[in-house]
Structure 1
Amino acid sequence: MPRVVPAVVRALDILELFLDRPQISAREVAERLDLPRTTVHELLVTLVARSYLISVPGQPVQYRLGMPVFQLGAAFAGRLDLVREAQSVARDVAAACTEAVHVAVLDGADVVYLVKVESSHPVRMVSGVGLRLPAHCTAVGKVLLAGLDRAGLDATLGKGPLPGMTPDSITDPDRLRAVLGAVRTEGVAVDVGESDSAMRCVAAAVRDHSGAVIAGMSISAPIIRWTAQAEAEWPTLVREGAATLSARMGHVARR
């Protein structure tokens, strides 16, 4: 079993004391958690240094929650809203194309799938919520990578060849950067057998109120159903679906 770090547990115990009160003193922390005052002092100093707690002005031994706690809570709440709204929009898109629709987010150099609506066909894509794949091998990952600034993209891709999933995966960082430039221009990305040789995908970016790319939406189908008509219609469909979800997340499209 992995070892639980006692200092981290105690720090979290301190933060949880604020669930039923707006501020608390160092003495109360020591009493409620039955900890030595020296330990409490060290933990409080660390939490203050990271701004998770702040000293109450004029009362240096009284503490209240800092902004990072709010930011974490807001990020969690925002993710819940994204999943709920994405489920609804993805169902509509899937009904229109009868294929699998995914919504995913970027986590480091990978994408993590938050939502999946199954295809109505018997032959389906093997995937699921929680699946993690290299972002550069997927259409949804490419729209997310295209949303990064240059520094963020460089940090994400690192140096040297990228790992491949199929013979068609893009493993050259420079080639990938050129592809991402086209994604920014066209507003959609494609995966032509790059994560699964038997599948094709098209994706578009989901944005929040600030215009930042927060997720990607994709339509995925086996090669046998990737017809000329589908290739013509699905990019528009996924763009519209992503735009609808973006609007629900507070994004106002520029005219």
Structure 2
Amino acid sequence: MGRAVPAVSRALDILELFLDGKARSASQITELTGLPRTTVHELVTTLADRAYLTAEPGQPTRYRLGMRLFQLGNVFAEQLDLAHEALVAAREIAASCDETVHAAVLDGAEVVYIAKVDSTHPVRMVSAVGRRLPAHCTGVGKMLLSGLSPQALDACYPPDREMTAMTARSITSPELLRTELAEIRREGLAYDECESNEAVNCVAAPVHDHTGAMVAALSISVPILRWDSRRRREWGDLVRRGARSLSERLGHRPPGGEERE
């Protein structure tokens, strides 16, 4: 392992002050980093010369992130493969709970599974990458639907049209679906309680990209014989952490730099 270069670390510390999107003055940078004023001046001047920072118009000592970081971020985003990154996250979650983990994206009123890691238990969920299911019958689907605008949701589920059912517990009322989606938005988790499979429950969490858009959902699917209130909470916390980790790999930073627990 090579030695970290202190000057580079200080420059990166300065850049990371701007992750919240706010402009900052040289004096604020000095205060927040605790670095000597001369050091801050030299580092900020260098970063501005290389277009990593840019001075605000009419305020030469007040800075925000520059175009070079935008260019680097675009290159990074183009290299990301959602299915691959989702599989990595699913493996990490499955290693912690030994249950089946899925990642899915929304396509109209259906979800498409893009990654799956199986449980090692003899009794487990039968599913496959590429499979499509009605979104309103699944945890991942309901999570993704919760991110739609009212207009987009109406296009998928007209308020006056009953929805198809996969089991006796599937939601078939557009009104009930909208009520549950409101609760999902509040809690940040979605549940499928024998709604797509009579013997399986699941809990799902949202995945966001660098723009803040919900681009996928991760879920843990569990046969009801291994599901109880304690594990419901544990798996909810676990899938939330896994989805947060995947979102971070996709470049997402929540408002204020903090995730809700």
Q: Same fold (TM over 0.5)?
A: yes
Query: 2:228 & 2:136 partners in 1: Cα distance?
Result: 24
Name the counterpart of 1:64.
none
Evaluate the alpha carbon distance shift between residue 195 and residue 237 of structure 1 in structure 2; reply closer, same or farther with a 3 A threshold.
same
Evaluate the alpha carbon distance shift between residue 107 and residue 78 of structure 1 in structure 2; reply closer, same or farther with a 3 A threshold.
farther
Amino acid at match of 2:135: A
Name the counterpart of 1:99.
99
Query: 1:228 & 1:152 partners in 2: Cα distance?
Result: 34
Evaluate the alpha carbon distance shift between residue 237 and residue 162 of structure 1 in structure 2; reply closer, same or farther with a 3 A threshold.
same
Evaluate the alpha carbon distance shift between residue 78 and residue 213 of structure 1 in structure 2; reply closer, same or farther with a 3 A threshold.
farther
SS of 1:89's equivalent? Answer: helix
Amino acid at match of 1:134: P
SS of 2:113's equivalent? Answer: strand
Name the counterpart of 1:242.
243
SS of 1:183's equivalent? Answer: helix
Q: What is the deviation of 1:215?
A: 0.3
Cα deviation digits, residues 142-192 of structure 1 (max 9, x gap) = 010001011111111134100000000000000000000000000000000
Evaluate the alpha carbon distance shift between residue 122 and residue 78 of structure 1 in structure 2; reply closer, same or farther with a 3 A threshold.
farther
Cα deviation digits, residues 95-115 of structure 1 (max 9, x gap) = 111100000000010000000
Query: 1:190 & 1:80 partners in 2: Cα distance?
Result: 28
Q: Cα RMSD over matched residues?
A: 1.5
SS of 1:106's equivalent? Answer: strand
Aligned residues, how many? 180
Structure 2 regions of 5+ residues with no counterpart? 1-73
Evaluate the alpha carbon distance shift between residue 155 and residue 78 of structure 1 in structure 2; reply closer, same or farther with a 3 A threshold.
farther
Name the counterpart of 2:189.
188
Alignment of 1:202-213 (within 5 A): 202-213=203-214
Amino acid at match of 2:214: V
Name the counterpart of 1:179.
180
Which structure 1 residue ranges, 4+ long, deviate > 2 Å from structure 2? 77-80
Structure 1 regions of 5+ residues with no counterpart? 1-73
Q: What is the deviation of 1:229?
A: 2.2
Query: 1:236 & 1:249 partners in 2: Cα distance?
Result: 20
Amino acid at match of 1:107: D
Q: What is the deviation of 1:78?
A: 5.9
Alignment of 1:103-122 (within 5 A): 103-122=103-122
Alignment of 1:138-153 (within 5 A): 138-153=138-153
Evaluate the alpha carbon distance shift between residue 251 and residue 97 of structure 1 in structure 2; reply closer, same or farther with a 3 A threshold.
same
Query: 1:201 & 1:240 partners in 2: Cα distance?
Result: 16
Q: What is the deviation of 1:84?
A: 1.1
